[in-house]
Structure 1
Amino acid sequence: MSEEPPFISAVDLFCGVGGLTHGLVRSGINVTAGVDLDPHCRYPFEANNAAPFLERDVKDLKPAELEPYLSAGKYSMLAGCAPCQPFSTYSQSGRSKKRGMDWRLVLNFGSLVADLQPDLVTMENVVQLADHEVFSEFLDSLKGYEVSWAKVECTRIGIPQSRKRLVLLASKLGGHGLDLASQFVQSPRTVRQEIGKLPAIAAGEQHPRDPLHTSSSLSETNMKRIKASKPGGTWRDWDSDLVAECHRKMTGSTYPSVYGRMEWDAPAPTITTQCFGYGNGRFGHPTQDRAISLREAAMLQTFPRNYKFLKKGEQVTFSRLGRLIGNAVPVRLGEVIGQCLIEHVHAFERGEVEVAGAGVSEQLGRLF
């Protein structure tokens, strides 16, 4: 992009360890603060992003608390990803359309937008959110904005994993350019391209120069299973004595991807909070006899290889770090969102946008 990025000040709600923030910053957006309830997010957020971490519950935030962070730039922006567990297909509660208490976080986000009236808004979430009434209520909080939303297959925008996300863009500056299709890539990135150059480690081993490049240990049985597994194959390839009892039943036969290896020259599966466990999905390394390491999981989420998750000397806790990495917004998605919004603001400054507030544009057909 030849033009200098416009001065956009953004606050990242539900910021986690900073995936969305880091991507927005890479695109040229000035993130002035991140907000999250989880204290474990503070170090990775602040160590990698030049912005303060506000340890707050978004539902308790007052608009006046955010105003100083939004007023620093020529344009203001609220961004965020409300926790998605109530809607996720990985959660039983996501299969119900009844409103749950956790869903209110989406509406809390909408209330802050309605009160603060930032120039720009972006929200990222699971695609199932679009089927729930709470999403319609969130759209109601965007009166006066041009709104565009889409279900995005992340491989289309350069993320090396099969991950579908709902992405919403809204602007008071008009509707021109609110379209992620401009950021599509010609071919998906692969597991090999993302993690193929990392040094080899064994199951249960930690690399001496990178504590996050650590793989969980395997039992004797699981070591036999992974040695019998082919990249892209399933447990159905194994000898019968290795097949878990639960998978011999009809109810278990529909889960062929557990205990699977990734393929080098294809995208990874969706990185989840349990991605460090070989038995939790297709999380086996393509060639090494182990599950992927936490560093590999982070890189498949498009975090830079040197992104800091641990303080010096801090011990690795797989469950905590797996949760932080799996719940993160992929950095590349944040970058694409930022690039799209920067191009949109440039178009506004050139006088190329129509009057805002005309309605909602749904781009499902082109982006899914």
Structure 2
Amino acid sequence: MRKGNKIVAVDLFCGAGGLTYGLETAGISVALGVDIDPNCAHAIEANSKAKFLQADVASLDVDKVQKALEGGDFTLLAGCAPCQPFSTYSRAAKQRHGENAGDGRSEDWRLAEHFGNIVRKVQPDIVTMENVPPLAQQEVFKIFLETLEGYWVDWKVIECNSIGLPQTRKRLVLVASRLGPIKIPDFDLPRKTVQATIGGLPEINAGGQDPNDRLHKASRLSSTNLERIRASVPGGTWRDWPERLLSSCHTKETGATYPSVYGRMEWNSPAPTITTQCFGYGNGRFGHPEQDRAISLREAAMLQGFPRDYSFLPEGESVSFAKVGRLIGNAVPVTLGSVIGKFIKQHVEEYRSSSIGEASESLGQN
């Protein structure tokens, strides 16, 4: 019988540590974060107790995973296998360029299979995977489910605003357990708005930066885009602009299907899905609700559930919008990681209570 309820986890495809940080806030000990991108090392080790391992999950030494999981009463293998071909942003981009959003089999598709292979070899007590909703309709998801033979499995698409994240983001969440039946509940936590999340940050201009927070930095705007954002209203579209500000793409038939491009967020609503390009005003509804600029990197991170002081870069390293934007946009929202972690903790505690109760009853009968 297991003596305690300590859960030790390994976070595959850990990125900037959104899932790791969320799991830790829920009381789960994350021993190791694994990612092929060396830029993730600082974020993992500066903000959590986990160690970082730069490795390709496709060729990962499973013994290192096994060793990292030692010392726990229960083991958890967690991760978000990147599946960019299925993301809404990726599919929309392909459609804008006249490409077939579903053609070919990208190597990105296979990352979920590599995740499944590690599960098969390690056999952790619990598995959780977070991903884009369209993955559920793909063959690779069916293959992943087949690797979970011997587990009780449940999965569902979660609207992140229902768990307290100030975003309209939808994510597929899967949990699997060798301990017993497991079912993801329906969440209906208090909704959060853009204003409640970032409304207290100091004002900055386009191209400006808060002297006390180098990540509270906004990208520059051309004179035309500055006119455009001044003509934009929260929740509105480029259709609100005077005709002289319209670009050629807006007048095309295909442009009419993308009204949120060059949009402002609304204070009293959740933000749209935060992407790797969220620092650019023309990349979606990423305009600040009041200030004439796109949201800053810090604001994007906070809308992803990261605390205001989360460190993405070592001291002294210059801030790159592309680099930090990619870390933030690709991250598992911290709030989602925390909710998943609390649910897994509850599942383990229920298992222990049941097991201890059954054991005590058995001893009393002998």
- Provide TM-score, normalisation by structure 2: 0.92
Deviation per residue, 1:149-205 (Å, 9 max, x gap): 0011111111100101000000000114x3142x431x4210001101001101000
**Offset at residue 319 of structure 1 (A):** 0.8
Matched, 1:13 2:20: no
1:90 aligns with: 89
Match of 1:154 among 153, 160, 185: 160
SS of alignment partner, residue 297 of structure 1: helix
CA contact (8 A) 1:97 1:132 kept: no
Matched, 1:37 2:6: no
**Offset at residue 97 of structure 1 (A):** 6.4
Deviation per residue, 1:32-86 (Å, 9 max, x gap): 0000000111111110011110000001112212111112200001000011212
Q: Which is higher, the Rg of structure 1 or of structure 2?
A: 2
Structure 1 counterpart of 2:38, one-letter code? P
**Offset at residue 87 of structure 1 (A):** 1.4
1:107 aligns with: 113
Structure 1 counterpart of 2:227, one-letter code? K
2:266 aligns with: 263
Matched, 1:137 2:120: no
1:127 aligns with: 133
Match of 2:294 among 291, 295, 301: 291
SS of alignment partner, residue 79 of structure 1: strand
Structure 2 counterpart of 1:79, one-letter code? A
CA contact (8 A) 1:213 1:296 kept: yes
SS of alignment partner, residue 257 of structure 1: coil
Runs of at least 4 residues off by over 3 Å: none
**Offset at residue 233 of structure 1 (A):** 0.5
**Offset at residue 98 of structure 1 (A):** 4.9
2:279 aligns with: 276
Structure 1 counterpart of 2:146, one-letter code? D
Gaps of 5+ in 1: 354-368
SS of alignment partner, residue 90 of structure 1: helix
C-alpha distance in 2, partners of 1:98/1:205?
42
1:188 aligns with: 191
1:64 aligns with: 63
CA contact (8 A) 2:83 2:111 kept: no
Structure 1 counterpart of 2:354, one-letter code? G
C-alpha distance in 2, partners of 1:163/1:84?
16
C-alpha distance in 1, partners of 2:101/2:27?
38
CA contact (8 A) 2:5 2:352 kept: no
C-alpha distance in 2, partners of 1:267/1:115?
40
Deviation per residue, 1:197-253 (Å, 9 max, x gap): 001101000110100000001110111111111000001011110111110111111
C-alpha distance in 2, partners of 1:97/1:120?
33
Matched, 1:215 2:242: no
C-alpha distance in 1, partners of 2:160/2:176?
20
2:53 aligns with: 54
Gaps of 5+ in 2: 95-99, 357-366
CA contact (8 A) 1:10 1:32 kept: yes
Deviation per residue, 1:132-151 (Å, 9 max, x gap): 01101000000010000001
2:245 aligns with: 242
CA contact (8 A) 1:191 1:267 kept: yes
C-alpha distance in 1, partners of 2:16/2:330?
9
Matched, 1:166 2:136: no
SS of alignment partner, residue 86 of structure 1: helix
**Offset at residue 88 of structure 1 (A):** 1.2
Matched, 1:315 2:318: yes
C-alpha distance in 2, partners of 1:77/1:14?
14
SS of alignment partner, residue 59 of structure 1: helix
- Greater Cα shift, 96-105 or 12-21: 96-105
SS of alignment partner, residue 235 of structure 2: coil
C-alpha distance in 1, partners of 2:344/2:301?
25
CA contact (8 A) 2:194 2:270 kept: yes
CA contact (8 A) 1:180 1:337 kept: no
Structure 2 counterpart of 1:143, one-letter code? E
Match of 2:184 among 179, 192, 198: 179
2:362 aligns with: none
C-alpha distance in 2, partners of 1:107/1:346?
30
Identity of aligned residues (%): 58
- Provide TM-score, normalisation by structure 1: 0.92
Question: Which structure carries more relative contact order (alpha carbon 8 Å, separation 6+)?
Answer: 1
CA contact (8 A) 1:58 1:109 kept: yes
